[in-house]
Amino acid sequence: METVLITGGTGLIGQELTRLLSEVGHQVIVMSRQRPPATSPNPQVRYAQWDVKNQSLDLNALQDADYIVHLAGAGVADQRWTASRKQEIINSRTRSSNLLVDMLSRHPNKVKKVVSASGIGFYGESYTKSFVEDDVPADDFLGTTCVAWENSIKPVQDLGKKLVIFRTGIALSRAGGALYEFYRPLRLGVAAILGSGEQWVSWIHIHDLVRLYLNAIMNDNLEGTFNAVAPTPVTNEQLVLSMAHAARNKSFVPVHTPAFALKIILGEMSVEVLKSCKVSSQKMEATGFQFSYPVIDEAMDQLFKQG
């Protein structure tokens, strides 16, 4: 089997993808800012170091790779969006891409394809239209960030590498991410619906998301930009209530969190929490990919009753 180098491999998606890739027989190299451990508990996984700030990385790791999965980037929802934090969010994505492009251009390697993350923050707001990959980007912070992110990795195509970009929706996982934040009030029996709850949420089960990445590696013909979202977006209220029913049956109380309160708590980030973004998965489905969890109730049942 071939070797896949993952940047951002210690994050939520990266860890799940590393597990899946090693299960199907691939060798995995996880790029980390930390000094790599002397040994790995999984013989198919090893660690290598890179330094985005100083634009350096382990060349042996790069030259061993057949594929690169580029997930690196500071968490969009981890902190309030101060001016410095917003710049960090952009730089962590573009400068890491710049490092990969530069090293691939200057050193011999056998990389066939790069599979890069992006986000559905690329798109604007809609309550009726379903965004498709050819739609124009939003001119807000996340829209311009996603454009810069995608543009920073596109030069790999000039080096003869195939490129797949996944604009990812809200990834649902019990291990962390957005679902963890949605679930926290539910521990106290409160199903916290954000604002009106009518805003559309485009989501994807973590199992299907990492399968998309595996599919991009296994399918030589797959190239281009795809929305990584489940076929059936839901409103925020539907998502929260589906989670509540799966996790607590009927022992919860739905409560709307007013928009003004979210603005006080989250600042500018509240715009994204309250934004309605309905995104189409049709282009991905047209390639023959079949989602294991296409509807929210099935996804939540798996996460809370089986997972």
74 closest CA partner among 7, 160, 157, 16: 7
The helix or strand, by DSSP H or E, that contains position 256, with its residue range, turns out to be: strand 253-257
Q: Where are the beta strands (DSSP E) in 128-228?
A: 162-168, 170-172, 190-194, 200-201, 203-205, 224-228
Identify the bridge partners of residue 170 per DSSP, sorted by sequence position.
Answer: 203
Tokens coding 69: 């999965």
Asked if residue 258 belongs to a domain, the reply is no
The total of other beta-carbon atoms located within 10 Å of residue 35's CB is 8
In a domain, 217, yes or no: yes
Across the range 252-272, mean pLDDT stands at 77
Give the residue numbers spanning the domain of 187: 3-236+266-306
Domain membership of residue 253 (yes or no) is: no
Mean pLDDT of the chain, nearest integer: 93
242 in any annotated domain: no
Q: Is the pLDDT of residue 242 over 90?
A: yes
Q: What are the pLDDT digits (tens) for 207-233?
A: 999 999 999 999 999 999 999 999 999
Residue 39 is predicted with a pLDDT of 66
Q: Is residue 248 part of a domain?
A: no
Rounded mean pLDDT, 69-93: 92
In a domain, 241, yes or no: no
Q: What are the phi and psi torsion angles at 142 (to 5°)?
A: -70, -35
Contact 49, 22 (CB under 8 A): no
Give the C-alpha separation, 164 to 115, whole Å.
5
Task: Give the least confident one: 2-6, 63-67, 152-156, 184-188.
Answer: 184-188
Q: What pLDDT is recorded for position 306?
A: 64
Assign 267 a pLDDT band (cuts: 50, 70, 90).
Answer: confident
Which residue type does 4 have? V
CB of 124 within 8 A of CB of 195?
no
**How confident is the model at residue 51, as a pLDDT?**
93
- Closest to 155 (Cα-Cα) out of 73, 85, 97: 97
| C-alpha 295, offset from chain centre | 19
d(CA 46, CA 13): 17
- Asked, for residue 23, whether it belongs to a domain, the answer is yes
Q: What is the CATH number of the domain that holds 80?
A: 3.40.50.720
Tokens of 52: 């985005």
pTM value is: 0.94
Whether residue 243 is contained in a domain is answered as no
The tally of domains found in the chain comes to 1
Confidence category of residue 79, pLDDT binned at 50, 70, 90: confident
Q: Is a pLDDT exceeding 80 seen at residue 31?
A: yes
22 pLDDT band, cuts 50/70/90, is very high
Q: Residue 189 is encoded by which pair of tokens?
A: 């029996």
Question: pLDDT tens digits for 116-156?
Answer: 999 999 999 999 999 999 999 999 999 999 999 999 999 99
Does residue 269 have a pLDDT over 70? no
Rounded Cα gap, residues 17 and 30, in angstroms: 11
pLDDT at residue 169 in the model: 96
Query: CA–CA separation, 100 vs 112, rounded Å?
Result: 14
Name the H helices within 112-205.
Answer: 141-153, 178-183
